[in-house]
Chain A
Amino acid sequence: MADAALPQALSDIRDEFSELEIPDRLTLLLEFANELPELPERFRDHPDLFERVVECQSPVYIFVEVDDLGVVHLHATAPREAPTTRGFASILVQGLAGLSAQQVLDVPDDFPQTLGLTQAVSPLRIRGMSALLGRTKRQIQSRLSA
């Protein structure tokens, strides 16, 4: 079903998860974890730019850029020992790629709960992804008002 507020990439990701049986959803999440891109070279020596998402149980850091065209770029880094967190970050990095600041701000806050992962991963863990989305939006707002 088309969802006006949900950008195409996020909606595709959601459909991809919902079409799978629950154990296979974990496998897909692991694929996302493995696909989390390395940080661009220019950020590697700048841990100061990154904000820790403390709601996640494992260390994950994000930095949001809004370029001159108003396009959002989310950069995230999390250790290999934290695949669930990496998977959450990777879903957002891929799903938000190329969106405008306003489009990201319009993503429903409950998007993480709609992926069908609550049962596979547990509601408590899903909150980490909600926090990632929330902090991404907050960084965008502060960039826009700067």
Chain B
Amino acid sequence: MASLSHKDLLGIEQLSVEDIQLILDTAEALREVAARPVKKVPTLRGKTVVNLFFEPSTRTRSSFELAEKRLSADILNFSASTSSVTKGETLLDTAHNLEAMSPDIIVIRHQSAGAPHLLGRECRASIVNAGDGMHEHPTQALLDGLTVRTIKGRLDGLKVAIIGDVAHSRVVRSDTILFSRMGADVWVCGPPTLLPWEFEKLGARTTPHMEEAMDGADVIMMLRVQHERQNEAFFPSAREYASLYGLTRERMRSAKKGAIVMHPGPINRGVEIESEVADADYSVILNQVSNGVAARMAVLYLLSGNSGLEP
């Protein structure tokens, strides 16, 4: 018997090394379900999962939805564009209304950091953070950890370079905490205007020089340039960004032998990553997508026993 000691998955921050290992082990066991002719197990039969997405999301949402379906849960989808949020309902009112329908798990993505935490305090259902503002995106970090562990066999002692638009990325926060907690050497790199130095507090080293970050790295993780989150100009042009921080074949030539390239997607071909690099053998971007379903199944499975605990 093993279990997460938490009712909710709000961030990697709250997870211990043992928690992370348990989730990754469980995800590894669940990966086999995707290879079956009948890609469904009855484990969450009769459980209701609400997907509450206040921000547009295609891949995270469909990944969660597939994970829920493969575990036979009943699913209720709410998205900001179709729900009464647009009619002025507060988040708390939405939560209480949902709670009245007695769901077991609520998966939430929200533009404000801390929204899942608020729900976690108010609801009996287990809350899964599917991304809150620029704060955390724990299931993305878990699938990244699973992908690296599967290929490299371990996480400790690896050098992980995370490069790009660090400031606007919740993925990099969760990834930094997860990889450094698991004993990896995490380097965070980006243009100085997009690189908060506070990352050193999370256990990472920061550098504005891509060569320094990439030197000897076992894992090179490129972040998406989030045009939609940038109201001001953080760099002069996409072309200049690509020449200084884009992952090109040229740069990959000096990379450590056996290094893998990751990207949380969706990729901007030709901006942060060259097309040929994204499609090369060392790119594991599509492994990340399939591992995403397994990691989310693991989280849902492990939390499903904990809903109804005291918030």
Q: Do A and B bind each other?
A: no
State the B residues within 8 Å of A (CB): none
State the A residues within 8 Å of B (CB): none
